[in-house]
Amino acid sequence: MFNILNDKRYNGIRINAQGTIRDERNKPKALSPRRQPSQFLYSNPNVTEKLAQRKTRLNIAHVPDQVITERDRLRRKAMDWFTSGNMKAAINNSLQSLRLMELQGLGHCGETLPECMILAKCYFKLEDRKEARFYLHRSNKLVQTEPYREPGTNAALYSILAELYMLDHEYEHARSLYRSYVRKMEAHFGP
């Protein structure tokens, strides 16, 4: 009767294969050392489920999880290099991440938007206007498609894009993008 399965917990009561019953409802929980974000990111089943939902929503279900994981790692490294001021390393990691998505046939979907924005900003900081404008226009096209589900996120992209256009000294276009940002935020969240 107690041998339901090898070792199960039912509302804190543990029943093992021998039929021994232990009440663990009031047992104090052991303190675990603080986990690093990367450990948490890839060990939590909820995150795996969210990754699957994101892949389905963006029609990238055919992309292996290893590719997405590697792309996320490269994206994080690019941001780390960017914030530390090493633009060349940030460009290298962003280009690797972008190439990884292009090999999967996703070079022009919303999943590449963060890399395009990082590349545009890095090239502006290195004063390579030709490359910066290329990634700026690519970012602009991706923002116009409203790649994310949340309307606030899509609206916020316009303010980031306005900042990039200001780096290119296109102030009128930056103002119009900022007005679009304000208009979209007011439409979704009120004045």
In a domain, 105, yes or no: no
> Taking the complete model, does pTM exceed 0.85, yes or no?
no
Residues in the chain: 191
What pLDDT digit, counting tens, does each position of 82-137 carry?
Answer: 999 999 999 999 999 888 888 877 666 777 888 899 999 999 999 999 999 999 99
Residues 6+ apart with CB under 8 A from 83: none
Give CA torsion, residues 35, 87, 118, 95, to 10 deg.
-90
| Mean pLDDT, residues 140-163 | 85
Higher pLDDT pick, 99 / 7: 99
In a domain, 12, yes or no: yes
- Residues forming beta bridges with residue 9, ordered by sequence position: 14
In a domain, 20, yes or no: yes
- Residue-range definition of the domain harbouring residue 4: 1-30
25 in Cβ contact with 11 (< 8 Å): yes
Tokens found for residue 8 = 């199960």
- Residues forming beta bridges with residue 8, ordered by sequence position: 15
Domain count of the fold of the chain: 1
Q: What percent of the chain has pLDDT over 70?
A: 65
Integer Cα distance of 147 and 61 in angstroms: 16
Q: Does residue 153 have a pLDDT over 80? A: yes
Of 69, 89, 70, nearest in space to 79 by CA: 89
